[in-house]
Amino acid sequence: MNNLIREATSNDLHAVWNLWKEIQKQEVFFAYQANYPRQQIEDSWINLNNHIYVYDFKGQVQGAYLMKPNQPGHGKHIVNAAYLVDNKVRGKGIGRILCKHSLEVATKLGYRGMQFNLVVSTNVGAISIWKSFGFKIIGTIPGGFHHVEKGYIDAYIFFKDLTLTT
């Protein structure tokens, strides 16, 4: 297979934005509403000050992950991440490949833990992946996500200690 995960360049940012926008429009995975302005997403997530890697299959970006410190200052040793997989190739293991790679990169960068602040309880695919890599649910936010079809549903906070060897 001619696939590869590589660090994103400025030439990839539009493709990453398109992945983000498609997921955002579904209103079932990300807390950002469909009309959330691109500039705000770029200011917080899709910029080269963050760690962005793309899953490139034969020259086409089919997935990506973005990592940044979960908090500033005394909380910057914990990394937060977002994962994006093109709708056309969901269910083919790309999310699992991205997660594995992100854990390796985060560890090499010296992060002590990885935290996901809001995982929608109906996102069973992602939950299965996170748990298979040793992430634990450390909190439940009752009604923490407004699902476009199901209304208010729970959201989870996931954490993995990156200082533990497996």
Q: Tens digits of per-residue pLDDT, 24-80? A: 888 888 888 778 788 888 888 888 899 999 999 988 999 999 999 999 999 999 999
What residues form DSSP beta bridges with 4?
56
Of the pLDDT bands very low, low, confident and very high (cuts 50, 70, 90), residue 3 is low
Q: Domains of the chain: which residue ranges?
A: 3-161
Number of helical (H) and strand (E) elements in the chain, helices listed first = 4, 7
* Distances 119 to 7, 30, 102, 128 between C-alpha atoms, Å: 25, 8, 17, 11
- Supply the pTM of this predicted model: 0.91
CATH code of the domain made up of 3-161: 3.40.630.30
